[in-house]
Chain A
């Protein structure tokens, strides 16, 4: 029954968003609402022994296992910091006339609903329900991208909706295949994860493989994997930065979660190797396309968005290996990527506010960044170091161990991936060195300094602190939880 706390919080919050006149309280309410989600998830961890089937309100609809709860916590953290950041950010958007003040309530209501659907998706015990929740996350995140109502935003949102929803329709055909496969074996069709995982090995393998291919198309589009990635750079870079952080830090995980679940079914059949091949090809292409694109980016947020595609590719390579150790590092990579990417987008958002170009379509001109926005500049620099995998940040370990796992499959794949990752690092380094060393010309007046509100600064600094601590300190309990996740998915013990 504890799950009904989530919708109750959202309903209460939306009533607040509609009724409260003061904008200050509105911003505060948004942060409190997302913090309440984290509290509920915390209570759930403390009171419900995992894995728990039948969390209510009806039987076989919601469940909780370590993987779902883990991702619910990760996205809860991302949402909390993004909401904390959104207050100052939206104020500034309204000052510059980019956001209509009347739409602020719509913005926060959309954000709350998005958080609800993302969180519930991780608790859905039913493939059909998961599909619907994933689809609703597309709708509401596209709304948040389009809320600025500039032409580029509407374009990006429409592209996002079309590509993601079209691909999700293929996923739905996959859902039908799964249902039919279950009906043939069990006599009665079912979409319940827990039942499916138990019986997947006895399902007709061809049918299950076809289901995997179809499911993969949709979930790959949700997580921005090549060749379904074309929406991602536009949507992530045009969205308000708080939303970009959520798109990258929480929503991509929804797609990957679906892929891992679907793969855990097909993993039990003789078609596991073919499924792995699909994952390797699309994962490798994602890393390749993203790395090469990163070389010539001139827009900071677009660069970070391409880095998301690269990381999703790496995750797919890890899932494709399919060994327990690889899955272990995939899960940690999801955590590390979400938090690091959120920190990067939030600090890049400050720079975008400072240097926003007034011509539509033109890139920001970053000058004198260490004089004007030192904290955000260091946020971007440390975030970049963390995302490319410098020690002591956690992505160093995840990349290292994922790549050693890839080497067990093919040393050539390892070599090629390594080269592409180097190119990506070079692209990011080149961008930062070029943009951050730019000085303003002597006769041109320096832009006014944008005073960053405390909430905004706090959110990305704290995220970077969390990421750093995670890199330096890896508690035994966390290892136990992640081993449990891998075991529950049916990949064996680490």
Chain B
């Protein structure tokens, strides 16, 4: 088995890298690189699951890693990429309420807040605390809150979708670190997520481009066949 301190260092590296991707999602303006950041974030989580599965010898975590790679690194980003191709915009420049710099400051405050409050909640559960899992749980919840900040502060619906996906990554990280959920639940969440993303991105096309262009695009996709005279 590999050296414990090596594993520890690797896990810590992944945690830091995940936080950096979250900060990127809050500040990057180009849509394609936002998507790539999300892909990277999911890949990091899959790596984390693989590392944990070797440490704990758990097959479930390995399956979770495979599932994450297939759905969140390949399928969902491919689909969103296709949608991005079809919306003519490439950049998301506007920010609501919070500019990137201040939202990063807010995120730091959030992480500290989560660290303090989660310490209270989990202290009873983790009598002999395993610090690495605890930090993972903190980063998981922080990632959720940062994803929520993305949803609040970005204007384009397609970026909001990525914020939502990043939140979901936070839940996954939290789940991996706190407890071991039955695999079937993970699979069902993934199916649910894919349906949700399908629907939101299709609707997003309608919001991020004009309605006429929307009907045009829906027809190209032949998702709903729209006839000429019915177009609003």
Q: Which residues of A contact B (CB under 8 A)?
A: 97, 100-103, 106, 128-129, 132, 135-136, 138-139, 142-143, 146, 149-151, 154-155, 157-158, 161-162, 165-166, 169-170, 172-173, 176-177, 179-181, 183-184, 189, 191, 204, 206-207, 210
Contact = CB atoms under 8 A, between A and B. Distances in A.
A97 B227 CA distance: 11
Interface string B186-210: 0011001001100110011011000
Nearest to A98: B232
Contact of A165 (B180, B181, B196, B211): B196
A135 B196 CA distance: 9
B151 A100 contact: no
B199 A100 contact: no
A170 B141 CA distance: 9
B168 A139 contact: no
A173 B141 contact: yes
Interface of B: 120-125, 141, 144, 148, 151, 157, 160, 164, 167-168, 170-171, 174-175, 178-182, 185, 188-189, 192, 195-196, 199-200, 203-204, 206-207, 211, 215, 224-227, 230, 232
A97 B14 CA distance: 53
Contact of A180 (B125, B157, B160, B192): B125
Given A154-B206, A172-B171, A139 B151 contact: no
B157 A206 contact: no
Contact of B124 (A146, A170, A206): A206
Given A161-B196, A169-B144, A100 B168 contact: no
Given A136-B192, A158-B157, A206-B124, A169 B168 contact: yes
19 contacts: A132-B185, A136-B192, A139-B195, A139-B199, A146-B203, A149-B215, A154-B203, A157-B203, A158-B203, A158-B204, A158-B207, A161-B196, A162-B160, A166-B164, A173-B144, A189-B179, A204-B124, A204-B125, A206-B124
A154 B207 contact: yes
Contacts of B151: 162, 166
A150 B207 CA distance: 10
Contacts of B206: 149, 151, 154
Given A161-B203, A162-B200, 17 more contacts: A101-B230, A102-B226, A128-B185, A129-B188, A132-B185, A132-B189, A135-B196, A139-B195, A149-B215, A158-B207, A169-B167, A176-B179, A179-B181, A180-B179, A183-B179, A191-B182, A207-B124
Contacts of A191: 182, 185
A173 B192 contact: no
